[in-house]
Amino acid sequence: MSCPVVSVVAKSGTGKTTLLEKLIDEMKRRGYRVGAIKHDAHSFEIDHEGKDSWRLTHAGADTTVITSPEQTAIIRKNRPEPTLDETADAFFGDVDIILTEGFKRSNRPKIEVHRKERSPTLLCRGEEHDPTLFAVASDEPLEIDVPFFDINDAVGICNLIESRFLK
């Protein structure tokens, strides 16, 4: 039985990470174990150049793991890039909900973040109608066919996530 996955999507620069921070904080406050997945279209540098773990990865290790009493970090070379579902199944056996940043082309339920300064239109209600959109967080009122929340209303959005996916 796999864990519920909810994706926060938006045009770039709208504020996905800021909303996710608020949702994670609110879900933790409610006692849930929370996973987060960020999709990065480009390559990213997670480790610090010259550190032991960085040296092992750059020597050619296909997977490097660093363990400590507080946390474990894993850096794995891909072949090919895993899908959202594969990632969710592989690394999140012990959380109640997974919140993702991006993955707008997945078929998982989505919240779109909208700011009027950024764009007049929605990603999920543009040329294509995305049926997985189930809420919008916006800084201006919108005529929309799904529940609508103020962009800062983490409590309201978490209430909806809880009732739809966790109860």
Q: Which of 74, 107, 116, 140 binds a second copy (CB under 8 A)?
A: 74
Q: Which of 2, 13, 55, 107 forms a contact with a second copy (CB under 8 A)?
A: 55
CB of 104 to a second copy, least distance (A): 14
Q: Are 131 and 101 in contact (CB under 8 A)?
A: no
Q: Is 17 in the site for a second copy (CB under 8 A)?
A: yes
Say which DSSP state 152 is in: T
Q: Where does residue 53 rank: exposed (0-12), middle (13-18), buried (19+ CB within 10 A)?
A: middle
- Contact between 105 and a second copy by CB under 8 A: the answer reads no
Q: Are 139 and 151 in contact (CB under 8 A)?
A: yes
- Cα separation of 144 and 114, whole Å? 12
138 lies in the site for a second copy, by CB under 8 A: no
**62 forms part of the interface with a second copy (CB under 8 A):** yes
With contact defined as beta carbons under 8 Å apart, do 7 and 104 qualify? yes
What does the binding site for a second copy look like in residue numbers (CB under 8 A)?
17, 20-22, 24-25, 28, 33-48, 52-53, 55-57, 59-78, 80-82, 87, 91-92, 94-95, 99, 101
